[in-house]
Homo-oligomer: A and B are copies of this chain.
Amino acid sequence: MDTYTAPLRDIRFVLEHVTPLSELTALEDLAHAEPELVAGLLEEAGRFAAQAIAPTNREGDEQGATLVDGEVVTPESFKRVYQQYVDAGWGAVQHPPEFGGGGFPLTVANAVKELITSANMAFSLGPLLTTGAVYLMVHHASEEQKRTYLPRMVSGEWAGTMNLTEPQAGSDVGAVTTRAEPVGDGTYRITGQKIYITFGEHDLTEQIVHLVLARLPDAPPGTKGISLFIVPKFLVNEDGSLGERNDVHAVSLEHKLGIHASPTCVMAYGEDSDGAIGELVGAPNDGMRLMFTMMNDARLGVGLQGLAIAERAYQQSLAFAQERRQGRGPTDAPGEQVPIIEHPDVRRMLLTMKAYIDAIRGLCYANAHALDLAEHHPDASVREHQQKLADLLTPLSKAWGTDLGVELTSLAVQVHGGMGYVEETGVAQHFRDARIAPIYEGTNGIQAMDLVGRKLPYDGGAFVKGVFEEIRADVDGLPDACRDIGAALAAAVDELATTTDWLFTRRESLADVLAAATPYLRMFATVVGGWQLAKGAAAAQRLLDAGHTDAYGTGFLEARLTVARFYATQLLPQVHGLAPAVMAGADDLFAVTAEQLAP
């Protein structure tokens, strides 16, 4: 029942007509990512995800990862599938060719990530963390560090991790206390503990390269005194072979609500020695800045998880709704039971899932598209503009994508009725797995603060207003047949602009701005999602008008229009219900004490 089909046609449509890959391949850096090559790549990735990885999902949940004598054991099927992943080079897609990477746009690499995450979110986290570590090292490690670590990390033979969180330093990363003492030979001795380290230890690779935030002895307090270190599980000999075991160990695993097969480790450094041996990356006390350079990539990657898990839960729900028979449709005569997809309310659930999934996909792919242009466009002003756009979209992708991941997997449980609550059905796992994504990689509250605090003020507000103008221009350019979509989108962007103006009037009252953050982010993302769907609807309408339906099929194109109209007229208007909360200010929030709120 819980099978998975790679939604290649949906993805291809976005890459051709919503956030065109052709705009990327027009650039010299990315010219090799030709449409046919990309199509073949995605097809292959889809096959691997659906046929090899997807069947491991439930087994992974049941077996989980376990800690046995200090070693983390992953489910048996993971080892086989991970080896296939390395052999096919899936981890290398987005990385630079000089280290063995495919040099594909992030947009394409993210499509691959979506497929693999839908297939098995817990499994996907290992590669995701490695990708993040590679990204960071490509940009900031020394030539020697790159030479030593990157080729085998890009290939996936070695894994990478991110070690930030400590018990007292979660959202507040500046409170990190792990220490790094210089030894004098260029290396450092790292001592301390980290928590919530995803794939901090496992048996999928012979080597794990930990990127660790720690403080030098003379470091200033807060985020300005944090440095970044490479701490490999095994020291690497001159000849590249693995040497001594470093003193970094997983001392326990968390027992979690979901992603059971992803080992979430408490890591100890230097418990049995003077410290784990580490190498500094970049300059002393510059660790937070280095981490920030990979933040968009990492946060977008988590937003994609919301999309990916919702897509899988949606597919299962759609299949179930066609098989399961109960009751009669509103216009049926008494008699046989009908498939529940004939009931309006079940259709509403399915269309809600489909519309939001398409909207999140549009948003996340637009986000990756902006990151690609920001990195590869020859014109500096374009790069700067696209970087700002990516910065703006990232908190939306992360928070909205993952909040909806939870909401849509919950709808998927509901479509299944009683069977949805039974673990064997598999849909409850998606609901459990999805629940982590609003929390890690910066909680969604942090994303909302980032949006209103850091991103809105770009160019004194002119940047975000420019985005609204872009949306309005696209509304004006919609074909006549999409008029109702355009009207709803225009009203929504006006509402968003009104609340944005209000936020600028309150710039002096940080509490008011922060109090608005979460409903404002929801509004903003809902509008941007609707924008992407409207673009797709316009393209679908034009293809239909021109009779160019061969590449997708008339049915697919008509469904794009229906889904976009459903979203615009039935989901997008929720922004009007959120605006009052945005403009309410913080007074009522702080008018009660904790004691008054207690029973």
Contact = CB atoms under 8 A, between A and B. Distances in A.
Number of copies: 2
Contacts of A421: 254, 256-258, 435-436, 439
A432 interface: yes
Nearest to A495: B577
A68 interface: no
Contacts of A165: 418
Given A578-B577, A592-B559, A435 B410 contact: yes
Interface residues of A, number: 108
Interface in A309-360: 311, 315, 318, 321-322, 325-327, 330-331, 334, 337, 341, 343-351, 354
Interface string A538-558: 000000000000000001101
A37 interface: no
B418 A170 contact: yes
Given A422-B255, A569-B584, A577-B575, A435 B431 contact: yes
A143 to B, nearest CB: 36
Contacts of A578: 573-574, 577
A556 B10 CA distance: 53
A573 B562 contact: no
Contacts of A346: 445
Given A348-B518, A570-B580, A562 B592 contact: yes
B445 A555 contact: no
A590 B347 contact: yes
Contacts of A258: 421
Contacts of A555: 593, 595-596
Contact of A556 (B256, B422, B596): B596
A330 B510 contact: yes
Given A172-B327, A196-B418, A580-B573, A517 B345 contact: yes
A413 interface: yes
Contact of A423 (B256, B343, B349, B563): B256
Contact of A581 (B172, B424, B573): B573
A212 interface: no
Interface in A11-52: none
A196 B196 CA distance: 37
A572 to B, nearest CB: 9
A576 B578 CA distance: 9
A585 to B, nearest CB: 10
Nearest to A523: B577
Contacts of A255: 422-424
A406 interface: yes
A183 interface: no
Contacts of A440: 418
B327 A171 contact: yes
B326 A171 contact: yes
A128 interface: no
Contact of A439 (B171, B321, B418, B591): B418
A573 B563 contact: no
A225 to B, nearest CB: 13
A222 interface: yes
A597 B559 contact: yes
A354 B595 CA distance: 13
Contacts of A556: 596
A433 to B, nearest CB: 10
A7 interface: yes
Contact of A584 (B311, B515, B563, B570): B570
A116 interface: no
A566 interface: yes
Contacts of A254: 421-422
B565 A596 contact: no
A482 interface: no
A326 to B, nearest CB: 4
Contacts of A6: 599
A351 B593 contact: no
Contact of A432 (B222, B257, B518): B257
A454 interface: no
A586 interface: yes
A226 interface: no
A562 B576 CA distance: 23
A343 B424 CA distance: 40
A419 to B, nearest CB: 9
A598 B168 CA distance: 46
24 contacts: A5-B599, A168-B337, A196-B418, A222-B334, A255-B422, A256-B421, A256-B428, A257-B421, A257-B423, A315-B598, A315-B599, A322-B594, A344-B589, A345-B518, A349-B445, A351-B589, A417-B443, A418-B440, A559-B592, A566-B588, A573-B578, A573-B580, A575-B577, A576-B576
Given A10-B599, A345-B517, A421-B439, 6 more contacts: A168-B325, A170-B417, A410-B435, A558-B591, A566-B584, A570-B584
Interface of A: 5-10, 165, 168, 170-172, 175, 195-196, 222, 254-258, 311, 315, 318, 321-322, 325-327, 330-331, 334, 337, 341, 343-351, 354, 406, 410, 413-414, 417-418, 420-424, 428, 431-432, 435-436, 438-440, 443-445, 448-449, 510-511, 514-515, 517-519, 555-556, 558-559, 562-563, 565-566, 569-571, 573-581, 584, 586, 588-599
The 7 A-B pairs of least Cβ separation, nearest first, read A577-B577, A574-B577, A7-B599, A559-B596, A344-B515, A330-B510, A570-B581
